[in-house]
Structure 1
């Protein structure tokens, strides 16, 4: 399957999962709001140009905004994640070219520790910004911080589960030995 088809399927699958499963299920608590759709941005191949990542992030967030009837909140948070992604990858990607031979970020490509830090930083940025935009309209600051931390923790658990249940067969980016 080509990268284009795989990413189109992922895009639709993450929007469907977020809108029709996670947003519909009854919440365990008012502080628990699971978000997983931004994992699409985290799984994009390394070779995507920053402009395309920003465009895809915008359309991903806009799609979720359309179904949840939020005025650009998810689009803003997704664009932030898309903007920060290359910088965070540069922090955690192996510097040796022989170790850096996979096409997309994953625990196999980056190692579990680096991948989890990559996902944690971007998950926290996404949730902090999204919940901050919601908090500006109403709410207390302590409630906002607790919801950000708990939402990030839940998102990280779902990311780890997704990585374990759906391991990706990664192709090499180049012919390095």
Structure 2
């Protein structure tokens, strides 16, 4: 149990560091901003209590907010997807499927992880970008930014699953 807690602590720190030191500096023509820290929320054990899931998501989001000088948008988006995560897992999982405690690509299969990652990343990015602009005046422009960033973030997350999180 202690080993598992240490593993998630290291994952939290590494994803936070990669996000704030490298990925926050990437911005392709103002439309593509990769946010992969949502991977931490996605990879928490399936049986994580909802209160712990929400607290960890808030801690991660507020940490990104502090280092990014944003006003709580990352923490709000993180808590939003953490709140919806159990429902998303329940909806995309068949009753016959024996879902591993760890919802990674190697444990759940490509098709399941693809659906899970697309939904989680898209919801996170939609909440993040609409909270960031806090208006529907440029609705389509914000939607375009959220979708492009989601696609780029999805590719980075899936790539990380193949390279780093193979076990």
TM (norm. structure 2) is: 0.93
SS at match of 1:147: helix
The answer to whether 1:82 aligns with 2:90 is no
Distance 2:120 2:100 in 1: 20
Choose which of 102, 105, 108 in structure 1 pairs with 2:103.
Answer: 105
**More helix by proportion, 1 or 2?**
2
The answer to whether 1:93 aligns with 2:93 is yes
More displaced stretch, 104-113 vs 114-123: 104-113
What RMSD, in angstroms, separates the aligned Cα atoms of the two structures? 1.7
- Following TM superposition, by how much is the alpha carbon of 1:80 offset from its aligned partner in structure 2, in angstroms? 0.6
Q: Where do 5+ consecutive residues of structure 2 fail to align?
A: none
Asked whether the equivalents of residues 53 and 82 of structure 1 are also in contact (C-alpha less than 8 Å), the reply is yes
The answer to whether 1:166 aligns with 2:164 is yes
Distance 1:101 1:23, change over 3 A: closer
Distance 1:74 1:48 in 2: 21
Distance 1:137 1:69, change over 3 A: farther
Partner of 2:8: 7
Distance 1:28 1:6 in 2: 32
- Following TM superposition, by how much is the alpha carbon of 1:139 offset from its aligned partner in structure 2, in angstroms? 6.3
Distance 2:141 2:162 in 1: 32
Distance 2:16 2:165 in 1: 20
The answer to whether 1:145 aligns with 2:143 is yes
Partner of 1:41: 41
TM (norm. structure 1) is: 0.88
- Following TM superposition, by how much is the alpha carbon of 1:32 offset from its aligned partner in structure 2, in angstroms? 0.7
Give 1 or 2 for the bigger CA radius of gyration.
1
Asked whether the equivalents of residues 99 and 108 of structure 2 are also in contact (C-alpha less than 8 Å), the reply is no
More displaced stretch, 2-11 vs 104-113: 104-113
- Following TM superposition, by how much is the alpha carbon of 1:93 offset from its aligned partner in structure 2, in angstroms? 2.8
Partner of 1:118: 116
Aligned length: 166
